[in-house]
Chain A
Amino acid sequence: MADLASEFLGIRSPNPFWLASAPPTDKAYNVNRAFEAGWGGAVWKTLGEDPHIVNVSGPRYAAIHSNDRRVIGFNNIELITDRPLQTNLDEIRQVKRDWPDRALVVSVMFPMNEAVWQKYVPMIEDTGADGIELNFGCPHGMSERGMGSAVGQVPEYIKMATEWAKAAATVPVIVKLTPNVASILPPAKAAKDGGADAVSLINTINSIMRVNYDTLTMYPATDGMGTHGGYCGEAVKPIALNMVAEIARTPETAGFPISGIGGVTDWRDAVDFLALGASNVQVCTAAMVYGFKIIDDLTDGLSNFLDDKGMKSVSELVGRAVPSVTDWQYLNLNYVEKAVINQELCIKCGRCHVVCEDTSHQAITHTVDGKRRFEVIDEECVGCNLCVSVCPVESCITMRRLTDGFDPRTGQPISGEKADWTMHPNNPMRKSS
């Protein structure tokens, strides 16, 4: 059995699954329940200055559903903790005492004022918490007050506030990044330059869920008015994975520890984050949508996966896929794939045909010898993977690499040589060979 035990910045936890700083970690009651369920750690919901903020007493959350009401995307306008600072500190101290083997990190959000950081960081550390996470990510509410993503969008502020936190803290400091930026690299570099021990990402994405079709006003609304919230859940995972991989594969930031966040719902999502460079993962929406019990599948599924791969620990998985991520310009243009439809598995829905017909390259038949039959026309297939993506039957359509002969589409011989855009004759900027 693979060992799921995790060590992140020296913070130990029995597994790499932490609850992210969010509504499920706002109180000792919830965090105790999470630890009882088996969660490896928790990042306590963001603390701020006293007097504590207030929340709306109307809808804070909204979801994008599939037709059978599974939550695919989720949005919130909840602010940081709305309880007195001392109440939180007392509970954090007690929880850490009761659960010494679990990771307990405290999320914080303070204004751009060094004195405030100097005052509060030691109070937080005094609880016995294992680390501090700087919330430079929340895009709603607090950002209007110059905090959250308002900091995270300005690399200079990130560096400055990180320096203040590091100056006041002895425990590890994690900087939580906002995805609401053009590139994640400048904020990540700023955190590193400021002395942060790690970054965690992503926080939520600016979003409006929809309108109310009866009133034609924004939904959800508080007394007829709405405001943008932070988007999360399964739907945001690809955005998060890209940002994690960017940090992991860029020389200036490569090797900088990453806590991966964004849509982790089952163990496969965790494999994605870990393989693309995160050392552990944080989970919020899945716990909010299904309850803490999902930890069982996360740990069990990951453990079985590692066993199947012959890996003894999570660390063997971390970063495994990073070398496979590159820029478009370095992709091998001599590589040729064709779709292949397994006629035994085909249920003859014709989706592959119609999408190829309307979107792509008219490369799939609908009738062969007068019978309803869907076959790939190699002379037209560009290997785009659209048919694979829409086919309702798993593994019915696969991609096959051509290794010799000619590409029936272009008439060009299949070459074993790699040739990318940087050397392509059509590229006016090509490097001379």
Chain B
Amino acid sequence: MPDIRPNRLSRDEIARNFSELHPPLSRSEALIEADRCYFCFDAPCTTACPTDIDIPLFIQKIRSGNLRGSAHTILAENIMGGMCARVCPTEVLCEEACVRNTHEDKPVEIGLLQRYATDPVLDDEVQLFSRAETSGHCVAVVGGGPAGLSCAHRLAMLGHQVALFDREEKLGGLNEYGIAAYKTVNDFAQREIRYILSIGGIEVHSGVALGQDTTITRLRDEYDAVFLGVGLTGVNQLGIEGEELPGVENAVEYIAELRQAIDKGKLPVGRRVVVIGGGMTAIDVAVQSKRLGAEHVDIVYRGSIKAMGASDYEKNLAQTNGVTIRTFARPLKILGRGHVSGVLFERTARDDYGSLADTGETYTLDADVVFKAIGQRLRDGVLEDGSIRMQAGKIIVDENRATSLAGVWAGGDCVVGGDDLTVSAVQHGKVAAIAIDRFLRTREKAYG
């Protein structure tokens, strides 16, 4: 019998486990940390930031007590600077580039400082941006995740009207449905979205799915330009025997359910959990399962630990939470009668050419629940077949995030070069909005 049940831990334990992973800096902590910034010339941290935030400048503004100015420096480049401060893998971005690493092996805590600067503006809903004179143009933005919201906000700033479509009830995309609960507490994603929308000029149409309720063709007809930030909402399948057994779940769906659950303890969790995959999603579902009270959680990845998509920080987080990471094994078969009871794995190894090869050696892990976390893809039917050039299942865009289809731009995880990071999606949306603005203004001049 599978051992799956809610309330494995007490209410207090659950509350503790799902409280914020990194508490915010106090004023004193922030000032002391800000003092560590060297105010570098052509700062490597800024170069490393996908959204080009002038990091030394916003830290200097913290130092001088100019917090509103600091927030403006951040949000002017990255309107989701608040969420990025919580979820960015800073250890491979700005903080990895910090020259303090060379000096003393300890970077400035840029992520926490960014949060310190942006929290007050969002908490108090201080509007730092205004809209340019109305252009008379209306742009359709599809997808209310980081790419779409960023694009919509920048377009609104530039004076355009925006129709923002999302298939879900709530906006936010992965910020709302994907990020592990302990990384963004107190409904932060929705508060940030309220802040973004408060600039005005953005009309939200929720519950509208591209490919079902509307099409690119129709949007191109009705609007002056279209931005696609539809993400990767389809889930990759293992394609092995037993995958249909009850107890075999998509990690992204469980994570979404957990994020939406008010009482996390009510969520059923297995005693023995096996996660198949090696990215952030695998880590998120493994750690959260552990924090819900699962006894044994194993992440099984087909290659080396280095090749895993998750950052070193995330892998450490999994391990310090008691998750076992097993490498060099691929699932052969999901075992069980009427319900999953385990997974049969085959060990892999590098062959002489450096690629992964099967070894013929197998082992079995018992499991009450198996999570599939082997990546997402564009949901079937989102795009009209052949209308937009694609590569490996993702939309091809140029440096301005323009697609092959005139008047259509795209960004975020759904495009080639999308890298599963909120911060990159925000940059895509921003760059596309600036390009769309240029396109609309040029057309105005040409046609009067």
A binds B: yes
Do the beta carbons of A372 and B34 come within 8 Å of each other? no
A222 → B minimal CB distance (Å) = 25
B interface footprint on A82-93 (CB within 8 Å = 1, 0 otherwise): 000000000000
Do the beta carbons of B40 and A351 come within 8 Å of each other? yes
Q: In the complex, what residue of chain B is closest to A346 when comparing beta carbons?
A: B102
Bound-state CA distance A295–B351 (Å) is 69
A interface footprint on B43-76 (CB within 8 Å = 1, 0 otherwise): 1100000000000000000010000000000000
A interface footprint on B213-237 (CB within 8 Å = 1, 0 otherwise): 0000000000000000000000000
A210 → B minimal CB distance (Å) = 12
A219 → B minimal CB distance (Å) = 14
Do the beta carbons of B31 and A350 come within 8 Å of each other? no
B28 → A minimal CB distance (Å) = 8
A167 close to B (CB within 8 Å): no
Bound-state CA distance A69–B38 (Å) is 18
Bound-state CA distance A392–B100 (Å) is 10
Do the beta carbons of B38 and A351 come within 8 Å of each other? yes
B419 close to A (CB within 8 Å): no
A residues 40-85 in Cβ contact with B at 8 Å? 66-69
B99 close to A (CB within 8 Å): yes
Do the beta carbons of A393 and B35 come within 8 Å of each other? no
A21 → B minimal CB distance (Å) = 34
Do the beta carbons of B41 and A68 come within 8 Å of each other? no
B residues 186-241 in Cβ contact with A at 8 Å? none
Instruction: Please report the total number of B residues contacting A with Cβ < 8 Å.
Output: 17
Q: In the complex, what residue of chain A is closest to B47 when comparing beta carbons?
A: A372
Q: Which residues of B lie under 8 Å from residue A166 when comparing CB positions?
A: none
Instruction: Please report the total number of A residues contacting B with Cβ < 8 Å.
Output: 15
**Interface majority SS (helix, strand, loop, mixed), chain A:** loop
Q: In the complex, what residue of chain B is closest to A392 when comparing beta carbons?
A: B38
A354 close to B (CB within 8 Å): yes
Do the beta carbons of B41 and A351 come within 8 Å of each other? yes
Q: Which residues of B lie under 8 Å from residue A351 when comparing CB positions?
A: 38-41
Name, among A348, A351, A354, the residue most crowded by chain B CB atoms within 10 Å (CB to CB). Answer: A348
Bound-state CA distance A350–B44 (Å) is 10
B interface footprint on A103-145 (CB within 8 Å = 1, 0 otherwise): 0000000000000000000000000000000000000000000
Do the beta carbons of A349 and B99 come within 8 Å of each other? yes
Work out how many contacts link A and B, with CB atoms closer than 8 A: 40
Do the beta carbons of A393 and B103 come within 8 Å of each other? yes
B133 close to A (CB within 8 Å): no
Q: A67-B31, A67-B32, A348-B102 are in contact. Are A353 and B63 (CB under 8 A)?
A: no
B42 close to A (CB within 8 Å): yes
Q: In the complex, what residue of chain B is closest to A354 when comparing beta carbons?
A: B41
Q: Which residues of B lie under 8 Å from residue A349 when comparing CB positions?
A: 38, 40-41, 99
A366 close to B (CB within 8 Å): yes
A46 → B minimal CB distance (Å) = 37
Do the beta carbons of B35 and A347 come within 8 Å of each other? no
Residue of B34, B38, B102 near A67 (CB, 8 A) is B34
Bound-state CA distance A348–B98 (Å) is 10
Do the beta carbons of A68 and B38 come within 8 Å of each other? no
Do the beta carbons of A68 and B99 come within 8 Å of each other? no
Q: Which residues of A lie under 8 Å from residue B38 when comparing CB positions?
A: 349, 351, 392
Q: Which residues of A lie under 8 Å from residue B100 when comparing CB positions?
A: 347
Residue of A347, A353, A393 near B41 (CB, 8 A) is A353
Bound-state CA distance A292–B42 (Å) is 45
Bound-state CA distance A67–B62 (Å) is 10
Q: A354-B41, A366-B41, A366-B42 are in contact. Are A347 and B32 (CB under 8 A)?
A: no
Q: In the complex, what residue of chain A is closest to B104 when comparing beta carbons?
A: A347
A364 → B minimal CB distance (Å) = 10
Bound-state CA distance A348–B35 (Å) is 18
Do the beta carbons of B42 and A347 come within 8 Å of each other? no
Do the beta carbons of B32 and A68 come within 8 Å of each other? yes
Q: Which residues of A does B touch, CB under 8 Å?
A: 66-69, 347-351, 353-354, 366, 372, 392-393
Additional A-B contact list (19), CB under 8 Å, known A348-B40, A349-B40, A392-B38: A66-B35, A68-B31, A68-B32, A68-B35, A69-B31, A347-B100, A348-B44, A348-B99, A349-B38, A349-B41, A349-B99, A350-B40, A350-B41, A351-B38, A351-B40, A351-B41, A372-B42, A372-B44, A393-B103
Q: Which residues of B does A touch, CB under 8 Å?
A: 28, 31-32, 34-35, 38-44, 63, 99-100, 102-103
Pairs of residues from A and B, 3 with the lowest C-beta to C-beta distance, nearest first: A350-B41, A67-B35, A354-B41
Listed by A's residue number, 12 A-B pairs whose Cβ atoms lie within 8 Å are A67-B31, A67-B34, A67-B63, A68-B35, A69-B31, A347-B102, A349-B38, A349-B40, A354-B41, A366-B41, A372-B44, A393-B103
